[in-house]
Amino acid sequence: MTRIDDHSLVELDLTLNWASRNVSHHDGFYVPRLNTWRDLLPDGVMEELMGRSEGEELAFHFPAGTMIPPREKNLIHQIRPEQFGKTAGNESPITPRLGRFYPCGLMTGVPGIYPENILPMRVIDIGEEMITMDLNHPLAEMDTDLKILIRAVRHSKRERGGQVHHWGEEVILGGPGMQAPVPGMMIDYGSTPVTGQAEEGGRPFDTGLRSDSRVDKESSRILGEVYREQVKPGSRILDLMSGARSHLPRGEEKEVVGLGRDEGDMAENPLLTRRVVHDLNEASGLPFPENSFDLVLLSHSMESLRRPEQVIGEVHRVLQPGGSFMVGFTDCWFSTEAMPLWMELHPFERLGWVLSLLSAAGFGDCFTRTYRNRSRPYEDPHYSVSAKSDPVLIAGGIKKG
């Protein structure tokens, strides 16, 4: 059995666990090759990896301000409204909304900030004369736990120069924390405009395209594994906006009902035991009695719902007490299908928006799960565009009993 030493190449799964307002968050990040000779991990982690072997798991607790830099007052900036939102080629400035994230490069006249800076900043106050921006990491005041699974270990025979990866930084950058609300602040998502670009052009909002039609097999597999965790023997499952696949592995479920607008697509789905033709964008009510299902799934379609609040309220009604609702998506979507709000939000902010809808509908024990940096299957038609699999993002909640 190969053990990790100073000259190892290691395949890892990193999971960052944290909590906000009784919501649990699990952010997964795949490390295809950690070079123990040159790469970096959070303090104390590399030392604990030494001597370990494939299949072992390690867990680390990091108090606030250790793995993630502590909150600093000098990263909070007050700017005038005219200093925000101007972009090259766009004469109309972007209107800031309270609690939302924007790239730092949208600020002008701030020392050290350049238009190319895409790190996120959060709007924490909007006054008549000044806007307050917070450039601290959204998890700066949070305790975090890091779980590591060692997937494979091999020995590196020769060390050469190359790119240094700080895997600890990579797992915390790119979104984790952006899905969390700010205590005492109501995030401004606007009036949740749901009109898609296609409808604005005089064409139907829902053109029949499905964002899952280009989701790669690895992302679909991950989504199915997370869904499967909620399935118990005899479960009654409702697959909303259903199509040719449900991203759910076969198991011991009693019933899988597909509800969608295209009977032909659903006919190709071998997992469905019943098919109901129903367009949620025409009628947001669900044609089922109360307490009909143990699990409701909505995959790759949240962005195209006209009335998401009403649909989620209906999901709450048809779920059995203790039942789960899970919304899964990636960063793949069609602009002709998506509501403008969806296109404005960072993928992790979309999780936060879904969480706000779940909470408003009465769901409890809410959670988010994300998975990033997986490898896209070589045979995937989009491999030439990106060798990385689509990130998977899931928000869910439980109907209180």
Specify the range with the lowest mean pLDDT, choosing from 65-69, 159-163, 314-318.
Answer: 159-163
The CB density around residue 386, as the number of other CB atoms within 10 Å, is: 11
Starting at the edge strand found earlier in the chain, the sheet holding 363-372 runs 57-62, 144-155, 8-20, 23-35, 363-372, 392-399, 319-329, 293-299, 236-240, 255-260, 274-277
CA-to-CA distance for 20 and 17, rounded, in angstroms? 11
49 SS3 class: helix
Can you tell me which residue has the tokens 């909150």?
71
Question: Over the Cα atoms of the chain, what is R_g?
Answer: 22
- Residue 182 pLDDT grade (very low, low, confident, very high; cuts 50, 70, 90): confident
Q: Under a CB-based contact definition with an 8 Å cutoff, are residues 258 and 274 in contact?
A: yes
* Nearest to 377, CA basis, from 386, 368, 367: 386
Q: What is the mean pLDDT of the chain?
A: 90
pLDDT score for 401: 80
Q: Under a CB-based contact definition with an 8 Å cutoff, are residues 158 and 322 in contact?
A: no
Say yes or no to pLDDT of 229 above 80: yes
Say yes or no to pLDDT of 198 above 50: no
The CB density around residue 222, as the number of other CB atoms within 10 Å, is: 23
32-67 tens-digit pLDDT: 999 999 999 999 999 999 999 999 999 999 999 999
Average pLDDT over residues 313-342: 92
Q: Under a CB-based contact definition with an 8 Å cutoff, are residues 324 and 364 in contact?
A: no
Is beta strand 23-35 parallel, antiparallel or unpaired with respect to 363-372? parallel
Say yes or no to pLDDT of 271 above 60: yes
Helices marked H in 159-281:
167-172, 197-200, 217-228, 263-267
Q: Give the up-direction half-sphere exposure of residue 154: CA atoms within 13 A in the CB hemisphere.
A: 6
Can you tell me which residue has the tokens 């209906």?
314
- Residue 208 pLDDT grade (very low, low, confident, very high; cuts 50, 70, 90): very low
φ/ψ of 350, rounded to 5, equals: -60, -40
pLDDT score for 209: 46
What the chain holds in terms of domains, given with CATH numbers, is: 8-63+142-172 (3.10.50), 73-134 (no CATH), 197-399 (3.40.50.150)
Q: Under a CB-based contact definition with an 8 Å cutoff, are residues 326 and 396 in contact?
A: yes
Q: Under a CB-based contact definition with an 8 Å cutoff, are residues 167 and 14 in contact?
A: yes
With vertex at residue 282, the alpha carbon angle to CA 276 and CA 286, rounded to the nearest 5 degrees, is 45
Q: Under a CB-based contact definition with an 8 Å cutoff, are residues 298 and 271 in contact?
A: no
Specify the range with the lowest mean pLDDT, choosing from 75-89, 128-142, 348-362.
Answer: 75-89
Structure tokens at 20: 């906000």
The CB density around residue 112, as the number of other CB atoms within 10 Å, is: 7
Instruction: Tell me what percent of the residues of the chain surpass a pLDDT of 70.
Output: 92
Q: Under a CB-based contact definition with an 8 Å cutoff, are residues 380 and 217 in contact?
A: yes
166-180 tens-digit pLDDT: 999 999 999 999 999
Q: What is the value of pTM for the model shown?
A: 0.92
Q: At what angle do helices 347-361 and 308-318 cross, to 10 degrees?
A: 50
φ/ψ of 75, rounded to 5, equals: -100, 10
Average pLDDT over residues 300-327: 97
Q: Which residue type occupies 41?
A: L
Determine which helix (DSSP H) or strand (DSSP E) holds 390, and give its type and residue range.
Answer: none
Say yes or no to pLDDT of 193 above 60: no
Give the single-character DSSP code of 149: E
pLDDT score for 190: 86
pLDDT score for 175: 96
pLDDT score for 90: 60
pLDDT score for 199: 44
* Nearest to 126, CA basis, from 188, 53, 39, 203: 188
pLDDT score for 192: 52
CA-to-CA distance for 134 and 140, rounded, in angstroms? 11
pLDDT score for 387: 84
104-124 tens-digit pLDDT: 999 999 999 999 999 999 999
